[in-house]
Structure 1
Amino acid sequence: MAVLLLLVAVVVALPILAIVAAVLQWDALSTQLLREMAETVLPQYAGTTVVLCLAVAVGTGALGAATACAVALFDFKGRRTFEWALLLPLAMPAYVVAYAYTDFLQYSGPAQTAIRAAFSIEGRVFPEVRSVGGAAVVFIFTLYPYVYLLARAALTQRAAHLMEAARLMGAPLRRRILVIALPLARPAIAAGIALALMETLADYGVSSYFGIQTFTAGIYKAWLVLDSPIAAAQLATLLLVLVAGLLQMERHARRKLRFASSRGARANSAEAKPIVLRCHQAWTAQALCVLPVLLGFVLPVLCMLRPLLLAWGQADTPLPWSGFVGWSLNSLKLAAITAALTTALALALAFTVRRRPTRLTRGVVQMTSMGYAVPGAVIVVGLLIPVGWLQAAQPGWGVGNWISTTVLGITWAYMVRFSAVALQSVQSGYSQVPISMDDTARTLGVGGWGLWWRIHRPLLQRSTVVAALLVFVDVMKELPATLVLRPFDHDTLAVVAYQLARDERLGEAALPALALVLVGLIPVVLLSRALNKKA
């Protein structure tokens, strides 16, 4: 078992280790290329990435915290609906939102055309959508639920009770929110912002479609356009440093969340009811909650339906129904294979840690969980670099034929990327199975893997299904690694939606894009049901 765990750790850590090793292998070509990039495009990569991250951090933090305070601390008409509706933008891949708003708000789009015709205006009405500002808006309205979820959980547990105590002491509402509620939720807000920033750094679809120069786009250009894996690895190392900092920030914030989990506080908070809002205060809270749902989910769906319906009614632009079936089958096959393998790996690792919680087993689990924070572009570079080394050392082995553009290679990349998702769900299920059940089973002669099969497996059925579904949905929406590693003639819904949108064929891209949105609703429904049960 120790040998197996070490092998798993090596496989999962291989992309990171390969990138670190590639940085040490300087050659004349990569040195010259990096020098030229540092003099030309590298400052732009850094500046664009920093500006984008700052805008996303401020936007998601403000919007997520405001909506969390509204539904956790106040009572108004529609509050119960907004509790789950605010999660709907999680179902929208950011690149799908980018396609929708570009088609609707660009110069020749229906919005500007209608305004120019109605008011006799010439020229551009709205700013250019394909810009850093447009990308920031897309990320803010698709990623704020990370902050909303964590902040809402922190505020629900203790804020209502403490705010009630402050009210009895004469503190006005503004002071109660600024001095009590927001400081209580500060660690949760910081953790949510860190998660949103990691998603922003990992994005390729939005930055590529909008034509903005971020680090992720630079990694792909260094690898695919400039044909320099060493330069791509060095750029990926800089991105890894940023991700490592965000991971440390998120873990530090989560450690501080412990102060909000007191049982007594939860019991007392049940006695403190949310503040009832009326008239203009209730309207303000409703508008605050409607805005992100409208801009992050409803309008993008309607914007994608418009070109789909237009293409449906035009004989010269038929919808690709035959191709859609093939793309869907490819996506379903890759997602099902990855979900099965990743969930099995998560069950084995979680069971091993439960039986032998040593430093080795915990380290392997932590290393396996690290892949989710690594951008897909970095994973691709980390997988293909050692393949190139082995191919150069042993040309007769044909290693590249086994990994590059094969189902094996892309499944490996998916497992590195999404093993943490399955592990989190399985470990959450194990936290509800008391250790005393294991001791009782051993007393009755049930041990080893028989303990898992006869005792743990029935109790973990729900967690196992949730883990498989979450990985399944994530694989369906994954774009960067799929673009590079997919087999030939094996396009998926995400890849086809990106390629059609890049070619300005939004009517055809709408069909796979909306299919991805429907699949993305699965984890939103599961998450909403779980939150309602806890409430």
Structure 2
Amino acid sequence: MYLVLITSFFSLLFGVLPAWYISTNNFTGKNIYDILLYLPLSIPAYIMAFTYSDILSYTGPLQSFARNYFPDLASFLNQDYLQIEVLGVIMALALYPYIYTACRLSFSLIGANYIDLSRSLGMSRTKTFYKIIIPLSRVSIFSGLFLVIMEVLNEYGAVKYFGVNTFTSGIFRSWYSMQDVETASLLAVFLFFVVVLFFSVERFFNSKYNFNYKPNTKKFRHENPSTSKKIFIYTISFIPIFLGFIVPLLFIIGNVIYEFERIDFYKVFNLTSNTFIVSLIASIIIVLIAVYFQFLKRIIKNKILTVFNEAISLTYALPGAVIGLSLIIMFTSFPFKSEVLIGSFIVLIYAYVMRYMAVGISPLKSSFEKHPSSYDDTALNLGMSPIKLFKSIHLPINKSAIAIAFLITFVDIIKELPITLILRPFNFDTLAVQTYEYAIEEMIPKSSIYSLTIVMMGVILLIFLKKIVNKEIDVSGS
């Protein structure tokens, strides 16, 4: 829980303030900053941890530079950085975009009305932020924070490398090192109850504090900040970009250049193909199922479908180690020969779909619920079939949400490590697995080409995602 607290605190610090200043101010380079603040999401937490452990090590560039030019500083920097506090900050640099994204959308949707009203009451912009904007946005902030907490509980590669004991690392250690299925199962069950607790708190916040505030009815007036405030905005926005994206990316590229002559590009291509194919298949299945059930909910008013949606939301909260272990236990208990399924692509894809279905449903649920049910009632009363209703009305008006759902799930599956480690078929690796295996053997430079490929795939997809999200923000009136 200590790791959760540290990561949560710094994720809020890196995510909330930049989102507020970018949503409410005009300054040179604002759109570039807005895109760059998303991009640390392209770097998995385990790659961020591997990279910074190498940067901060005794032979790393930071301490080597200090020894050559600042001997007094070198002795101060010579510390053991494989500590839980350092890991918490590093993981926050990789995960804060979840909070930034939620806040950016929330601040944009609130619009000018509340800010103008607070100004008429004599409140400063800072006081407006703390007294008005934060309370209005607390559901969105907590939703982003919930995703951060779930990612911390799911993380394996980073905590394993730093030697931090968590539920997930304990499950892997019991299962693989000690061959103790009973202890691994017990830890998985306990972790499941911890996740259910966080999930219940998140649902409580949604039900208690979620409300429909008055939508923006006039164009939002962005502030033109003073020079001193511009410097502050640039600084507070640049820190997470620099530490969460620029530094690790440059270090990874440097390692790739250093190892360039020894890179097996045929292997890189094969692993990239493996990663792309399983991510593509799982993402398509997730989006198809999510679209089908959201459309079905509109046509058939049934409480069972609502319960199904809630149950699916819980699957994302389940760590990959718990899902992987549960599927192995489930399939080995089948009366027929389960080896046909265990270690097959079918089970691996099924696990991805189970883990990330909620990610695909979330944007689609929001999009489908925005449109009044009168669309469906009118079309059906005019004799339009459900299939034609979907093709003619719901597919066009929800196409942005479908694209967002696909891109988010694709990015997440590319980075997935615990499920792939447990359920991958024999002699089948992905970029994430190869990165982890080299890094855990202290061959971080050799792992860099695989890390860079993951990051570049993520960057491309996130830029597309950001363009779609920006269109949604513009439509909302920001």
TM-score (norm 2): 0.91
In 2, the alpha carbon distance for the partners of 1:462 and 1:174 equals 34
Determine if the alignment matches structure 1 residue 61 to structure 2 residue 12.
yes
Deviation at residue 341 of structure 1 after TM alignment: 2.2
Determine if the alignment matches structure 1 residue 71 to structure 2 residue 22.
yes
Alignment CA distance shift 1:180-1:429 (3 Å) = closer
When Rg is computed on C-alpha atoms for both structures, the one with the higher figure is 1
Deviation at residue 286 of structure 1 after TM alignment: 0.8
In 1, the alpha carbon distance for the partners of 2:381 and 2:128 equals 54
Counterpart of 2:35 (choices 84, 92, 97) is: 84
- For the Cα contact (< 8 Å) 1:154–1:257, is it kept in 2? no
Alignment of 1:322-341 (within 5 A): 322-341=266-285
Counterpart of 1:347 (choices 278, 291, 302) is: 291
Deviations 1:109-135 (A, max 9, x none): 121111111123565625333221221
Alignment CA distance shift 1:321-1:202 (3 Å) = same
Deviation at residue 429 of structure 1 after TM alignment: 4.2
- For the Cα contact (< 8 Å) 1:188–1:253, is it kept in 2? no
Alignment of 1:25-36 (within 5 A): none
- For the Cα contact (< 8 Å) 1:229–1:381, is it kept in 2? no
In 2, the alpha carbon distance for the partners of 1:291 and 1:322 equals 37
- Per the alignment, residue 204 of structure 1 pairs with 156
Structure 2 residues not aligned, in runs of 5+: none
In 2, the alpha carbon distance for the partners of 1:238 and 1:510 equals 35
- Per the alignment, residue 39 of structure 1 pairs with none
Counterpart of 2:410 (choices 465, 468, 472) is: 472
Deviation at residue 84 of structure 1 after TM alignment: 2.5
- For the Cα contact (< 8 Å) 2:407–2:462, is it kept in 1? no
In 2, the alpha carbon distance for the partners of 1:434 and 1:184 equals 24
One-letter amino acid of the structure 1 residue matched with residue 342 of structure 2: S
- Number of matched pairs: 472
Alignment of 1:113-512 (within 5 A): 113-121=64-72, 123=75, 125-158=77-110, 160-255=112-207, 258-259=210-211, 261-263=213-215, 266-268=216-218, 270=219, 273-312=221-260, 315=261, 318-390=262-334, 394=335, 397-399=336-338, 401-431=339-369, 434-449=372-387, 451-452=389-390, 456-457=394-395, 460-512=398-450
- For the Cα contact (< 8 Å) 1:500–1:508, is it kept in 2? yes
One-letter amino acid of the structure 2 residue matched with residue 299 of structure 1: V
Counterpart of 1:108 (choices 53, 56, 59) is: 59
- For the Cα contact (< 8 Å) 1:72–1:155, is it kept in 2? yes
Q: Quote the sequence identity (%).
A: 28
Structure 1 residues not aligned, in runs of 5+: 1-49
Deviations 1:45-91 (A, max 9, x none): xxxxx111111122112222221222223343333332232111122
Deviation at residue 444 of structure 1 after TM alignment: 4.5
Deviation at residue 483 of structure 1 after TM alignment: 0.6
In 1, the alpha carbon distance for the partners of 2:33 and 2:389 equals 43
- For the Cα contact (< 8 Å) 1:376–1:480, is it kept in 2? yes
- For the Cα contact (< 8 Å) 1:88–1:521, is it kept in 2? yes
In 1, the alpha carbon distance for the partners of 2:409 and 2:118 equals 44
One-letter amino acid of the structure 1 residue matched with residue 151 of structure 2: E
TM-score (norm 1): 0.82
Deviation at residue 136 of structure 1 after TM alignment: 0.4
- For the Cα contact (< 8 Å) 1:187–1:254, is it kept in 2? yes
In 1, the alpha carbon distance for the partners of 2:439 and 2:458 equals 19
Deviation at residue 257 of structure 1 after TM alignment: 6.1
